[in-house]
């Protein structure tokens, strides 16, 4: 019976319940049928990853961090990492919940810690789930009841708990770069035929200024749009049962073959291997 489970195991069971629900969720619920490695995944905000079944391995530079159910992986700030999702067995897919810590949640926590100086975000870190159980239970209870406001307050409590555990670097304030602002717009509507005039108008700058600033940052509008579309495709592949062809269409590719080629070039793995369908 659930009531007899230790708090950590009960939390895992209820997170698994959340991951298997239909409809929108305030997190990415990952499911992987096949073991695979994905190279250079862009994580654009502090994120807490909680494996529910199977093993998660993440590499930053040359250092691998491995987490299993009962442990969490804190990514304390934006970065590129390599990832492996490893199912327990062919009959038991890998499942996990990835909670992106939204800007408004981080801002609320900073206000409550107004006199604190936060260090720069550090490396990836393994966090024992036992140390977060109470805070995550509160967030999960409100989330399962559909109370978004109290769930937001509870997630602020999770962030404050992580700060108390010594991981305050996730609260270091960073202004979004121009590339990130463009990426966020594309992520919100990846199937749109984005053009430079669209983005110039949204950003309030001329085409020449936009190109010059992006070139100074070592990127281009075309690269940002393509990267954002493929990132959204990756999220859809690991968190939905959509077939590859449908994912390709949702992120603006008319041809599934062209999409598969670009995806494989970008992430080093075929989309069919990543798909949870």
pLDDT, tens digit, for every residue of 97-136? 999 999 999 999 999 998 899 999 999 999 999 999 999 9
Q: Copy the structure tokens of residue 266.
A: 């970008």
Per the DSSP assignment, residues forming a β-bridge with 41 are 81
pLDDT greater than 60 at residue 254: yes
Alpha-carbon span 92 to 33, nearest angstrom? 8
Class of domain 2-171: mainly beta
Rounded to 10 deg, the angle between the 7-19 and 133-144 helix axes is 30
Site of tokens 């100074």: 216
- CA-derived radius of gyration, the chain: 19
In contact, 122 and 169? CB cutoff 8 Å: yes
* Rama region for 40: left / alpha / beta (φ>0; ψ in -120 to 50; rest): left
> Where in the sequence of the chain do the CATH 2.60.120.810 domains occur?
2-171
Question: What pLDDT, on the 0 to 100 scale, is given for residue 20?
Answer: 82
Residue 173 pLDDT: 86
* Residue 210 three-state SS: helix
Residue 182, H or E segment: helix 178-188
Q: Encode pLDDT of 49-60 as tens digits.
A: 999 999 999 999
- Going by pLDDT thresholds of 50, 70 and 90, the confidence category of residue 3 is low
pLDDT tier, 1 (very low <50, low <70, confident <90, very high otherwise): very low
What is the pTM assigned to this prediction?
A: 0.93
In which residue ranges of the chain is CATH 1.10.10.60 found? 178-274
Geometric angle at alpha carbon 124, from 65 and 149, rounded to 5°: 120
Reported as a single tens digit per residue, the pLDDT across 175-226 is 889 999 999 999 999 999 999 999 999 999 999 999 999 999 999 999 999 9
**CA neighbor of 39 nearest in space, from 60, 53, 54, 66:** 60
Average pLDDT over residues 18-47: 90
User: In whole numbers, what is the pLDDT of the chain averaged over residues?
Assistant: 93
Q: Which of 133, 142, 120 is nearest to 50 (CA)?
A: 133
Share of the chain above pLDDT 90, in %: 88
Instruction: State the pLDDT at residue 57.
Output: 97
Provide the 3-class DSSP secondary structure of residue 60.
strand
Kindly report the CATH class assigned to 178-274. mainly alpha
The reported pLDDT for the residue numbered 272 is 93
Cα angle for residues 121, 127, 129 (degrees, 5° grid): 140
Give tens-digit pLDDT for 144-177: 898 999 999 999 999 999 999 999 999 998 888 9
d(Cα 39, Cα 59) in Å, to the nearest integer? 9
- Mean pLDDT over 81-96 rounds to 93
């Amino acid at each position: 019976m659930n009531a007899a489970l230790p708090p950590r195991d009960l939390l895992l069971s209820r997170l698994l319940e959340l991951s298997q629900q239909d409809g929108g969720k305030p997190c990415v619920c990952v499911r992987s049928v096949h073991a695979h490695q994905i190279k250079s995944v862009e994580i654009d905000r502090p994120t807490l990853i909680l494996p529910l079944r199977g093993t998660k391995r993440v590499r930053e530079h040359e250092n691998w961090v491995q987490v299993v159910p009962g442990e969490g992986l804190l990514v304390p700030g934006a970065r590129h990492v390599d990832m492996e999702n490893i199912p327990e067995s062919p009959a038991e897919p890998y499942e996990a919940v990835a909670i992106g810590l939204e800007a408004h949640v981080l801002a609320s926590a900073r206000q409550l810690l107004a006199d604190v100086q936060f260090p720069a975000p550090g490396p990836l870190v393994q966090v024992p789930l036992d140390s977060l159980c109470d805070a995550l239970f509160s967030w999960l209870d409100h989330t399962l009841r559909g109370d978004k406001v109290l769930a937001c307050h509870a997630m602020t409590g999770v962030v404050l708990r992580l700060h108390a555990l010594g991981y305050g670097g996730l609260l270091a304030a960073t202004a979004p770069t121009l590339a990130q602002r463009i990426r966020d717009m594309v992520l919100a509507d990846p199937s749109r035929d984005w053009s430079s005039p669209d983005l110039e108008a949204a950003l309030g700058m001329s085409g020449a200024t936009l190109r010059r600033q992006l070139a100074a940052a070592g990127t281009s509008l075309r690269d940002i749009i393509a990267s954002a579309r493929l990132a959204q495709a990756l999220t859809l592949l690991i968190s939905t049962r959509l077939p590859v062809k449908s994912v390709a269409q949702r992120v603006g590719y008319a041809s599934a073959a062209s999409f598969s080629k670009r995806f494989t070039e970008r992430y080093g793995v075929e989309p069919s291997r990543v798909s949870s369908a």
